[in-house]
Amino acid sequence: MLRRLDEEGSKAGLAINTTKTKVMRSAFSSPQPVLLQDVLLEDVSENVYLDRLLDTENDIKPEIARRGRAGWATYNSIKSEAWPAVPYNGAPSGFFTQLRPRLSRAILQSLTAPSGSVRFQA
């Protein structure tokens, strides 16, 4: 099937990048090596595809942890811009009502946007 995809794609001027192409198998598939253009394709148990972590066990925990790390990375990248933007005048309720929407928006953006594309906007 992969060979046919490569043949049909080459007719249209497309080529499969054998260094980026990975093989992920189900528990029921054959362990036979997969060759494309006489190159052995790498077997993997998990891979990030379209900004989502896929694995052979269909376990969501690593994906949640990865997105959590992305959220914290985004928070830490905007922390210096977010905290001074909200003046603290001794009234915590006013402070947090101004800060919460900014941080919520930034964290939501980090969870829904492609990796590395989130920029803080005041």
- How many other C-beta atoms lie within 10 A of the C-beta of residue 110? 22
CA distances from 78 to 58, 65, 110 (A): 33, 20, 11
Those residues with Cβ within 8 angstroms of residue 95's Cβ, 6 or more apart along the chain or in another chain? 86, 87, 88, 89
Q: What is the spatial distance between Cα 17 and Cα 122, in angstroms, rounded to a whole number?
A: 41
Give residue 90's pLDDT. 62
Please report, in tens digits, the pLDDT of each residue of the chain (122 residues total).
Answer: 888 998 999 999 999 998 888 898 888 888 899 988 889 999 998 888 887 888 888 788 888 888 888 888 888 887 776 665 555 566 555 555 666 666 666 666 666 666 555 555 54
In the prediction, which pLDDT does 14 show?
92
